């Protein structure tokens, strides 16, 4: 790990301020991809974060500025990230006036590049039925997040978003100048592809028979049900009441609500039809073993897990309001949910999928090829070229 003082360097340095810069999580993975791209080009890079992937932290181009996260709380750690991020950005830009500084949403107020991975102004709490203490905490955090992102985004010279949906929200809800907001879609790992050759081994790990259809849900399972598992669970009970529904459900994601959900499933006598993995870093294996991903999200600025499912040949039913939905061609828009609260509609779409399982896989192949063709390096290159245009020849 390089934690040496700031020093002159042959290239203009960059500063990246982010909660996490690693491969575990959509926003964190995107930040790590940009950092890796810059490191590969020997750009001096200052990473200000709570957690950084070890390989990046050890890169000789990186100066790491670790920010503690007291009690493991992002809420408590946010203030420290903002203060440290501004201090490092100030030091670097004083030494190198052309240095670029990238922040994420409201995590740090700095007037350069703001890469927006979600917009809290558009993200409403979905904590009906949660304990009172959580509702109070959830609303306090949301109010603070909206205040912080408004302050930071109004200062930004250039705003990068992950979808046209997010770009539209920034212009319409925050009043940002349209010409300053740019969409750059998230990338895909270069090795994403159909993994049918691994399917039997992965199914064995999951304890699922190869011949039975497998539906996957991937997402956090906290007291806030933004990811929409409650919608899926209601639809799932209806489906399992039918004699012809033969699929099993695998649920990947940790959170405070997991113990209660397990109890609910067991009490419904459906423990054999629904399996909770809890938190796992083997999401790629879960997707590879599955025949369908269901993501009835209430808010999703993009939807990286949906993209990853499609990249490995797995159809994905997702809310039409999610950013990734704008990349669905007309031929597969029947996989989009107009209303994430409509359990009857979700049930009907899942039955339609089951009636032609192989056909669904064939229909998504064009979008799978397109998504796989836009790598993380392509994404990072677009961001760099956006903020550092090539000089005219």
pLDDT for 198: 73
Q: What are phi and psi of 167, to 5 degrees?
A: -60, -45
Q: Is 3 helix (H, G, I), strand (E, B) or coil?
A: coil
Rounded to an integer, what distance in angstroms lies between the CA atom of residue 275 and that of residue 291? 15
Q: What is the distance of C-alpha 333 from the center of its chain?
A: 21
Three-point CA angle 162, 163, 168, nearest 5°: 120
CB burial of 359-372 (b: ≥16 within 10 Å; e: otherwise) equals: ebbebbeebbeebb
What are the start-end ranges of the H helices in 207-299? Answer: 229-240, 258-267, 283-289
The enclosing H or E element of 252 equals strand 248-252
Full-model pTM = 0.91
Structural domains present in the chain: 14-188+375-387 (3.40.50.2000), 196-372 (3.40.50.2000)
Which ranges of the chain have pLDDT less than 50?
Answer: 1-9, 391-393
CB 210 within 8 A of CB 203: yes
pLDDT for 8: 40
Rounded to an integer, what distance in angstroms lies between the CA atom of residue 332 and that of residue 343? 20
Rounded to an integer, what distance in angstroms lies between the CA atom of residue 106 and that of residue 200? 44
Rounded to an integer, what distance in angstroms lies between the CA atom of residue 368 and that of residue 361? 10
Three-point CA angle 76, 150, 304, nearest 5°: 75
Q: What are phi and psi of 170, to 5 degrees?
A: -65, -40
First to last CA, the chain: 39
CB 92 within 8 A of CB 15: yes
Task: Please compute Rg for the chain using Cα positions.
Answer: 22
Q: Extract the tokens encoding 186.
A: 């998230």
pLDDT for 195: 60
In the sheet that holds 274-278, the strands lie side by side as 274-278, 248-252, 214-218, 292-295, 316-319, 336-337
CB 302 within 8 A of CB 322: yes
pLDDT for 11: 76
CA atoms within a 13 Å half-sphere pointing along the CA-CB vector of 257: 24
pLDDT, one tens digit per residue, over 157-216 is 999 999 999 999 999 999 999 999 999 999 998 776 656 567 788 888 888 888 899 999
Rounded to an integer, what distance in angstroms lies between the CA atom of residue 260 and that of residue 22? 30
The enclosing H or E element of 76 equals helix 74-95
CB 61 within 8 A of CB 4: no
Q: What is the distance of C-alpha 35 from the center of its chain?
A: 17
- For residue 253, give the DSSP letter: -
Q: Is 159 helix (H, G, I), strand (E, B) or coil?
A: strand
pLDDT for 193: 63
Q: Extract the tokens encoding 381.
A: 């290159």
pLDDT for 69: 83
Taking phi over 0 as left and psi of -120 to 50 as alpha, with beta for the rest, 167 belongs to alpha
């Amino acid at each position: 790990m390089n934690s040496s003082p700031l020093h002159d360097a042959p290239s203009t340095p960059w500063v990246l301020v982010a909660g996490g810069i690693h491969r575990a999580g959509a926003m964190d993975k995107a930040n790590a991809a940009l950092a890796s791209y810059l490191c590969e080009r020997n750009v001096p890079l200052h990473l200000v974060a709570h957690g950084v992937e070890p390989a990046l932290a050890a890169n000789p181009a990186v100066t790491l500025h670790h920010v503690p996260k007291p009690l493991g709380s992002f809420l408590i750690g946010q203030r420290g990230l903002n203060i440290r991020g501004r201090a490092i950005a100030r030091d670097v830009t004083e030494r190198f006036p052309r240095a670029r500084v990238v922040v994420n949403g409201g995590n740090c107020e700095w007037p350069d590049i703001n890469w927006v991975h979600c917009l809290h102004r558009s993200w409403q709490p979905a904590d009906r039925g949660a304990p009172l203490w959580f509702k109070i905490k959830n609303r306090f955090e949301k109010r603070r997040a909206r205040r912080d992102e408004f302050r930071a985004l109004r200062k930004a010279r250039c705003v990068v978003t992950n979808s046209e949906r997010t770009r539209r929200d920034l212009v319409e809800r925050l009043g940002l100048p349209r010409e300053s907001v740019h969409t750059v879609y998230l990338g895909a790992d270069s090795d994403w592809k159909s993994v049918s050759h691994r399917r039997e081994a992965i199914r064995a790990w999951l304890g699922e028979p190869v011949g039975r259809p497998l539906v996957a849900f991937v997402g956090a399972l906290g007291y806030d049900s933004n990811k929409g598992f409650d919608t899926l669970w209601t639809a799932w009970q209806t489906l399992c009441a039918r004699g012809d529904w033969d699929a099993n459900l695998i649920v990947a994601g940790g959170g405070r609500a997991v113990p209660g959900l397990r109890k609910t499933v067991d009490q419904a006598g459906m423990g054999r039809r629904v399996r909770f993995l809890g938190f796992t870093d083997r999401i790629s294996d879960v997707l590879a073993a599955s025949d369908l991903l269901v993501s009835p999200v209430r808010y999703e600025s993009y939807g990286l897990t949906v993209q990853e499912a499609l990249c490995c040949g797995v159809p994905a039913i997702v809310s039409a309001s999610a950013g990734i939905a704008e990349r669905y061609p007309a031929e597969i828009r029947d996989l989009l949910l107009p209303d994430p609260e409509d359990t009857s509609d979700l049930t009907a779409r899942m039955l339609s999928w089951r009636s032609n399982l192989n056909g669904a896989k064939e229909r998504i192949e064009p979008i799978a090829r397109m998504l796989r063709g836009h790598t993380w390096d392509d994404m990072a290159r677009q961001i760099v070229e956006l903020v550092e245009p090539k000089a005219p020849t």
